[in-house]
Structure 1
């Protein structure tokens, strides 16, 4: 075998294994480029050219976020009823139209209405995409595909932010508007690729799981499955690592450490590179519920140590030591982030009944959404009140979240045998595992 052939084989093995997973991964890259363009310039556009104050922008986004949070599970139910592919086609087309509609916003009321209508679809996108992966891909390739999605999303966001830098440099309204248009166009490409995927019909329960009816409506709602609720709540707490990285870290470095401000760029870039290169590799070792539970525990431990390192960065005296402690914290946080992401996918898939996967995955996503909405404010408030000690308080929360996850993912006790001579039950209540 020649060297060229060996490299070609390695490259082929590094790609998603199936046609469906390749399309879904490519969609993640395309969509995140557009989203990165939008996120980088949207706040400035709305405050400069759409007649909003910073307070109105924050309030409007908060209202829209709550609306999106409230409609996530109903959207998942639609995926179970009509198939995740069909619902996702509607979602991406709606998002393309919605981002163009933002360009006609002028004032607070128009912004809130448009944002609420758009956030219904924005919040539904991630769980619908995961439900589509769950229906089309099986075995170890399923979690591997989720790893590709996350890696390529990080890469896409970086590309999108870079493109948006042109608009931010010029400062012209036309350049800002093209960021919105570019985001809408990216979703049209996503629509085209999703339409190429195999059709996935309504969810049905395996024979005997729902008394023979085969209907998703017969499954216990996720809110009544205490194991799944525990896993969802734990996922929300552990996902605070995202708030730390995106919002808290830049402010902490600039205002609470002697480190130079350019260290923020070094830390964020390091995280992005490790995520892009390492997420798929991590998923290879997390292919069952027990392995996902162990990864969750390790993630919590690493996050606790990362918080301790962040606390140390606020009490050291020199820029050099601040840089060292910040880099140590960043590396610990990044590895924990990779482990938590991979374990959360496996846990959510494993605990979701086949007949209601869309609904369950949407409910599981509520933990992520709640942490994304409230996490930055909660962590910033804690650090503002307690300083470096706040990191130690946060460090305790992660092992507690891992313990809560263990409650939700530990093996069920086997059912007691029926006493001899008794009639078998005619009505059964399905479980979520």
Structure 2
């Protein structure tokens, strides 16, 4: 089994920064809903509206912030955005109304989206092209480890159920982004791109890349499937115990932590990435079929189908992640990594924002037929991704005179 820690150097430092803020995020994810209702005093519908608006703003802001990372240098941009994210989380400690909450949430989502794009540009500048997918696999493993630790801390706050405990969780999250910024400062600076030919935001005119991003967004519906769709299905349509939701979440995060690096090892270019995504589509179809079998069956059958489906789900997730990382980077022109990754990363936001509505309609509204339709959608998108990525690769044009990220020319000491 590959080492869980990446090699010493920039990749390990990036992983340490990822671990630091993911611990805070893990605590935030499990406590935020109750914090905003019990402490801030907002109605659940207002929380949902505010977060939806905030992430819509964040998804749009990711592209220009990624562009700034390219032009001004990704390390400095990432450090500033990590500090801005920490400040946004800290502001949640004092907001006590909807409009201040909305402003803080917009700052949080915008800074998070920009930080993700800037860190991808930073990775591209510090890691050789052929090593990026492996580096991202290590970061994903680190992310899951941090989320698991943070979720445990959040669980302690939930058990205490006091205002002080909730406030402590948000303070930890804010400090985690400060730690992230300090760790990022230990990395070498990556030279900014002084000038690029073409449109100011070229990604908005790159139709092949837009189609790739759209297909990837469809495949990313697996994210709310685990956090929203499956829990609702288990509680409303099966005889399985509700604690199984937590057990399946632990199964997923642990498997990604242990096996994502190995899974990504076979992905080395556009061809292997397309094959990995096609395999993930087939696994996702089988996943949805297994979950469909759990409805209206005896408890032992339901539990067996849900566990089996969850194993297939995490296998498909790891293949899809590795393939999409490779495609997203390989199709981004040199010098525009931050801009393109800001656009590609918006798929995560869209999937998390619109996914719950779609999954609720399909699974709770249509039952078994909804599961099969969802599985067919995953399969179709995964097979289309191969064709579209080849088309995009053929039409890709590198800007002249721009040094390729990952080489010595792209770095400054």
Provide TM-score, normalisation by structure 2: 0.92
Give the secondary structure class of the aligned counterpart of 1:104. coil
Residue equivalent to 2:179: 189
| Structure 2 partner of 1:302 | 283
1:381 paired to 2:371: no
Q: For residue 410 of structure 2, what is the aligned residue in structure 1?
A: none
| SS of 1:110 mapped into structure 2 | helix
Q: How does 1:18-417 map to 2 (within 5 A)?
A: 18-203=8-193, 215=196, 217=198, 221-315=202-296, 317-410=297-390
**1:403 Cα shift?**
3.2
Q: Which runs of 5+ in 2 are unaligned?
A: 403-413
What are the Cα deviations for residues 92-115 of structure 1, in whole angstroms up to 9, with x where unaligned? Answer: 011111111111101111111111
1:219 deviates by 7.8
Distance of 2:309 and 2:45 partners within structure 1: 32
Distance in 2 (alpha carbons) for counterparts of 1:185 and 1:373:
27
Confirm or deny: 8 A CA contact 2:229 2:363 kept in the other structure.
no
- In the TM superposition, residue 408 of structure 1 has moved relative to its aligned partner by 2.2
SS in 1 for 2:335: helix
Gaps of 5+ in 1: 1-9, 205-213, 416-426
For 1:109 and 1:216, the matched residues in 2 are separated by 41
Contact 1:222–1:228 at 8 Å: present in 2 too? yes
SS in 2 for 1:382: helix
1:258 aligned counterpart, secondary structure: coil
Say whether the 8 Å CA contact 2:90–2:171 is kept in structure 1: yes
Q: Note if contact 1:230-1:407 (Cα within 8 Å) is conserved in structure 2.
A: no
Distance 2:70 2:122 in 1: 10
Mean Cα displacement is larger for which, 335-344 or 263-272?
263-272
Shift of 1:127: 2.2
Return the alpha-carbon distance in structure 2 between the equivalents of residues 56 and 40 of structure 1.
18
Q: Per-residue deviation at 1:404?
A: 2.8
Shift, 1:379, TM fit = 0.6
Counterpart CA distance in 2 for 1:221 and 1:190 is 30
The alpha carbon displacement at 1:51 in A equals 2.3
Contact 1:248–1:376 under 8 Å retained in 2 = yes
> 2:44 and 2:317 mapped to 1: Cα distance?
31
Question: Rg bigger for which structure?
Answer: 1
Residues of 2 paired with 1:413 and 1:184: CA distance?
Answer: 40
Residues 287 and 309, structure 2, Cα contact 8 Å, conserved in 1 = yes
What is residue 6 of structure 1 aligned with on the other side?
Answer: none
Distance 1:135 1:341 in 2: 21
Q: Is the 8 A contact 2:208 2:392 kept in 1?
A: no
Tell me, yes or no, if the aligned pair for 1:237 and 1:401 is still in contact at 8 Å.
Answer: yes
Please state how far the C-alpha of 1:407 moved relative to its aligned partner: 3.0
CA distance in 2, matches of 1:219, 1:91: 21
Indicate how the Cα distance of structure 1 residues 239 and 265 shifts in structure 2: closer, same or farther if over 3 A, else same: same
